[in-house]
Amino acid sequence: MVNELIHKYCGDNEALEALLIRHSGDVARRALQIAKRHPELEADEQFLWEAAMLHDIGSVRTNAPSIHCFGTEPYIRHGILGAEILRSEGLPRHARVAERHTGTGLTASEIEHQNLPLPRQDFRPETIEEQIVCYADKFYSKSHPEREKTPEQALRSLEKFGSEGLDVFKAWIARFE
């Protein structure tokens, strides 16, 4: 189901399909490692793998040529675009993961303050699976898929989202590592 959906939405964009499978596979592997290391979290491993593999599917509709995305939407919208795709496919839980993985999650006030082209609502991860995918995603970049970030590098990449996000990520390090 996962690879079929990625292929369906990438169409003939083989470079983007390969990038999404690589990036999402890295995120999924890290997410599953966390779940296995922390059985007390009671994460749904099958769902975690699927959601991690599909969290960036909205990228196909964005304009980010450096990562093979030739759509029309700003990249910051890839999470909510992915949520639209996944809801249309009957996957509402997966959609929540997609829309809540930017930074450490965005609040309505952050969206308004930064004048982001997103609905003015809360997009912070709530369920354990949403949190794990959001966390795992911060260690991998689609711009440099060959690199895995350290926790310190991931923290630095989150600085642009403000101190609240840094505090969330530090708490996740303590909880998930």
Model confidence at 52: pLDDT above 80: yes
Residue 164 pLDDT grade (very low, low, confident, very high; cuts 50, 70, 90): confident
Mean pLDDT of all residues belonging to the chain: 96
pTM of the full structure: 0.96
Summarize pLDDT for 110-155 with one digit per residue, the tens.
Answer: 999 999 999 999 999 999 999 999 999 999 999 999 999 999 999 9
Q: Is 55 helix (H, G, I), strand (E, B) or coil?
A: coil
42 SS3 class? coil
Instruction: Provide the 8-state DSSP code for 140.
Output: B
Number of domains in the chain: 1
Which residue segment(s) compose the domain that 14 sits in?
A: 2-176
On the question of pLDDT at 60 being above 80, the answer is yes
Q: Name, in order, each residue with C-beta under 8 angstroms of 135's C-beta and a sequence gap of 6 or more.
A: 31, 34, 104, 169, 172, 176
- In sequence order, what E strands does the chain have? 63-64, 69-70
Neighbours of 114 (CB within 10 A): 14
Question: The domain that contains 129 carries what CATH number?
Answer: 1.10.3210
> At residue 36, does pLDDT exceed 90?
yes
| pLDDT value of position 160 | 74
Q: How sure is the predictor about 108, in pLDDT bands with cuts at 50, 70 and 90? A: very high
- Whole-angstrom CA distances from 33 to 118, 121, 132, 167 are 32, 31, 10, 23
| Bridge partners, residue 140, by sequence | 148
Q: Which residues, including other chains, have CB under 8 Å from residue 77's CB and lie 6 or more apart?
A: 58, 61, 62, 117, 118
pLDDT of residue 162 exceeding 80, the answer is no
